């Protein structure tokens, strides 16, 4: 069924109240094909998962298609590993817990990331020392114009830091319908990032397992990141900027305590949250939006903000960071 002039407020974690010209849901590849066949081709499409990485700045003259394809299937199993093919509408965290509860390793550090499995390859989601590219096997995606189903392997997805081919060369051309992940039966526990180790000590954990890592990550995330059900947000609003040595070295001399992460290319990744905090934005409120008081990389909607007010706040932050540090921040959230 296609509905018209539907409020998207329940479908985006910023809680922005804009309307979609047309709205439909699909629970299978067949339903998706029917909707795509019947659609008015002059109206642009927006594929929606959990709406946790978008900022809606205006009413959308779009046909919004909400993905509800479910199902988790084991398609390969040996003594060493399991490959699971997951419907793209499955909630990412539900899939993570499904693997962790079976003692399978690979994605436990990415516990509690909101959104759908189908969006996970879009920006190669990552957290606490892991990215999906490390366990990704392949995905199936429907080509919107030809309605052909194509399989993409890891190389074809061109994953990078918060990047994939689906945000670049193939933007708006495909609907991802399933993603396959490789999980190991012999997990290598990774507690090197941030506070995982100290959180597990505080939890009284004697022997780390995928489940204790998952629980520790959930505890840390709950302590810093706002729950979108309580305070609208889309996680990190900006990417952490990767800068050349020429930009980095004078900054490091001036701010020796600035967190930085050396990259294979010789460049340095800076912590945008640190820059934004240092520039005095942390906890700042402008109208009904602001910068989260516990994580300066997260912009929040106190309830009544419009998408364009949040966008304007992000522009003011970008300009200020450019002036103060000579560093250009790039938005991570998809702006519509």
- List 128, 136, 152, 159, residue binding ligand EPU (CB under 6 A): 128
Interaction pattern, residues 294-313, with ligand EPU; x per rule: CB under 6 A: -xxx----------------
The residue ranges of DSSP E strands in the chain, in sequence order, are: 3-7, 19-26, 45-48, 54-55, 60-67, 72-77, 81-87, 126-127, 130-131, 136-143, 149-153, 174-184, 232-236, 242-243, 260-262, 268-270, 285-286, 289-291, 298-301, 334-335
Q: Which two tokens stand for residue 195?
A: 């506070």
Decide if 268 is catalytic: no
- Computed on alpha carbons and rounded to an integer, the radius of gyration of the chain in Å comes to 20
332 catalytically annotated: yes
Catalytic member of 66, 97, 162, 182: 162
Question: Any catalytic annotation for residue 162?
Answer: yes
Q: Which is nearer to ligand FAD, 125 or 247 (CB)?
A: 125
48 binds, among ligand FAD, ligand EPU, none (CB under 5 to 8 A by kind): ligand FAD
Q: Which of 22, 32, 54, 329 binds ligand FAD (CB under 6 A)?
A: 54
Tell me how far apart the alpha carbons of residues 161 and 252 are, in angstroms, rounded to a whole number: 23
Determine the Cα angle at 254 with ends 319 and 274, to 5°.
Answer: 50
d(CA 289, CA 285): 6
Q: Does residue 93 bind ligand EPU (CB under 6 A)? A: no
Q: Which is nearer to ligand EPU, 25 or 224 (CB)?
A: 224
Task: Report the relative pairing of strands 174-184 and 3-7 from DSSP bridges.
Answer: unpaired
Contact 68, 90 (CB under 8 A): no
The CB-of-253 to ligand FAD minimum distance in angstroms stands at 31
Nearest to 226 by CA among 112, 91, 123: 112
Q: Around Cβ 231, how many Cβ atoms within 10 Å?
A: 18
When asked if residue 301 is in the footprint of ligand FAD (CB under 6 A), the reply is no
126 vs 241, beta carbon nearer ligand FAD: 126
- The reply to whether 320 sits near ligand EPU by the rule CB under 6 A is no
Q: Which of residues 255-284 bind ligand EPU (CB under 6 A)?
A: 259, 271, 273-274, 277, 282
Among 16-24, 54-62, 291-299, 301-309, the segment contacting ligand EPU (CB under 6 A): 291-299
Judged by CB under 6 A, which of 15, 228, 290, 307 binds ligand FAD? 228
Helix runs in the chain, H state only:
29-38, 92-100, 154-157, 196-202, 210-224, 245-254, 272-278, 307-325
Interacting span for ligand FAD (CB under 6 A) from 35-43, 76-84, 169-177, 269-277: 169-177
The listed partner (ligand EPU, ligand FAD, none) that binds 271, CB under 5 to 8 Å by sort, is: ligand EPU
106 binds ligand FAD (CB under 6 A): no
Burial 279-309 (b: 16+ CB within 10 A, else e): bebbebeeeebbbbeebbbbbbbeeebbbeb
Binding site for ligand EPU (CB under 6 A): 127-128, 194, 235-236, 239-240, 259, 271, 273-274, 277, 282, 295-297, 332
Q: Which residues are catalytic?
A: 162, 236, 332
Binding site for ligand FAD (CB under 6 A): 13, 46-54, 67, 88, 113-116, 118-120, 122-123, 125-127, 174-176, 225, 228, 233-235, 334
């Amino acid at each position: 069924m296609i509905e018209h002039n539907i409020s998207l407020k329940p479908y985006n974690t910023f809680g922005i109240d804009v309307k979609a010209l047309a709205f439909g849901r699909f629970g299978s590849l067949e339903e998706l094909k029917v909707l795509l066949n019947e659609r008015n081709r002059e109206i642009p499409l927006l594929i929606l998962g959990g709406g946790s990485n978008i900022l809606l700045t205006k009413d959308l003259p779009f046909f919004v298609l909400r993905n509800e394809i479910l199902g988790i299937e084991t398609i390969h199993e040996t003594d060493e590993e399991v490959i699971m093919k997951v419907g793209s509408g499955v909630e990412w965290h539900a899939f993570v817990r499904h693997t962790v509860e079976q003692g399978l390793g690979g994605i436990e550090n990415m516990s509690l990331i909101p959104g759908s499995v189908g969006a996970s390859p879009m920006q190669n989601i990552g957290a606490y020392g892991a990215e999906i590219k490390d366990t990704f096997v392949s995905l199936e995606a429907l080509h919107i114009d030809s309605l052909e189903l194509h399989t993409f392997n890891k190389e074809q997805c061109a994953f990078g830091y918060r990047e994939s081919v689906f945000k670049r060369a193939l933007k708006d051309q495909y609907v991802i319908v399933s993603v396959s992940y490789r999980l190991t039966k012999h997990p290598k526990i990774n507690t090197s990032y941030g506070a995982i180790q100290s959180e597990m000590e505080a939890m009284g954990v004697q022997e780390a397992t995928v489940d204790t890592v998952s629980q520790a990550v959930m505890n840390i995330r709950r302590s810093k990141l706002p729950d979108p059900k309580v305070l609208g947000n889309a996680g990190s609003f900006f990417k952490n900027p990767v800068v050349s040595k020429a930009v980095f070295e004078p900054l490091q001399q001036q701010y020796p305590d600035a967190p930085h992460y050396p990259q294979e290319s010789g460049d340095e990744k800076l912590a945008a949250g640190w820059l934004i905090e240092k520039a005095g934005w942390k906890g700042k409120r402008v109208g009904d939006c602001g910068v989260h008081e516990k994580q300066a990389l997260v912009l929040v909607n106190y309830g009544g903000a419009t998408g364009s007010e949040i966008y304007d706040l992000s522009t003011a932050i970008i300009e200020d960071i450019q002036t103060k540090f000579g560093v250009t921040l790039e938005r991570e959230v998809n702006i519509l």
